Amino acid sequence: MTMTALLFALLALLLTPGPTNTLLAVAGTERGWRGALWLIPYELAAYLAVTLPLVLGGAVVLPLLPMLKPLITAAAALWVLVLAVRLWRLPKPGAAVQTSGQQVFVTTLLNPKALIIGLVLLPGAPLLPRVLLFALLVIGVAALWAAIGACLSGGPDCPANRAAPLIRRSAAVWLGALSVGLLISALPA
């Protein structure tokens, strides 16, 4: 895969709404764009913790352990369901911010996108430029999702109406649907 093809494939996958992007958007609604940016290193670290070992050894290990993929998928589905329930519960007015770096890290570790990136998109030579491109795109897309959340909530970084409770509930429904889809895909055929 050429670097240009890799760029577009990574962008298409990273921009797709999923659990990590949903959390970043919610963080943008909670604390504005600038306030959500501190979560990006958690996402990047988790993506690299999954994708780099997969690039370096996943093609050898996964065929030897066929039950690993459904187990990882089921774990991801359960975590996304937990996030959906947490997001559904609206915080009390004046309550502390809900989205944490730990949530973003664990969610990204369990994100099925990491498997696709680590096993399909990143393998190839030269590896270092491919990983750098991936890291830059993760940072850019995460900042974009945080900005979307900030704009939707009418936070200090973007003028719009205040719709944070609706956004939280919508995100909870989306994550619940993702969780069900992941659980179904983890079941044996």
Contact by Cβ (8 Å): 69, 115: yes
Identify the weakest region by mean pLDDT among 16-25, 39-48, 134-143, 162-171. Answer: 162-171
Contact by Cβ (8 Å): 55, 62: no
Q: What distances in angstroms separate CA 122 from CA 135, 141, 158, one per listed residue? A: 11, 17, 35
**Amino acid found at 135:** A
Q: What is the pLDDT of residues 99-120, one digit of tens each?
A: 889 999 998 998 888 887 887 7
Q: Name residues whose C-beta falls within 8 Å of residue 160's C-beta, 6 or more positions apart in sequence.
A: 151, 152, 153, 154
**Taking 80 as the threshold, does the pLDDT of residue 179 lie above it?**
no
Residue 67: which pLDDT band, with cuts at 50, 70 and 90?
confident
Contact by Cβ (8 Å): 90, 23: no
pTM exceeds cut of 0.75: no
> Which has the closest alpha carbon to 85: 180, 182, 169?
169
How is the chain split among helix, strand and coil, in percent rounded to 5? 80, 0, 20
What is the pLDDT at residue 184? 78
Q: At residue 96, what are phi and psi to the nearest 5 degrees?
A: -65, 160
Name the most confidently modeled range: 49-53, 54-58, 84-88.
49-53
What is the pLDDT at residue 160? 47
Rounded CA separation 97/94 (Å): 9
Residue 176: which pLDDT band, with cuts at 50, 70 and 90?
confident
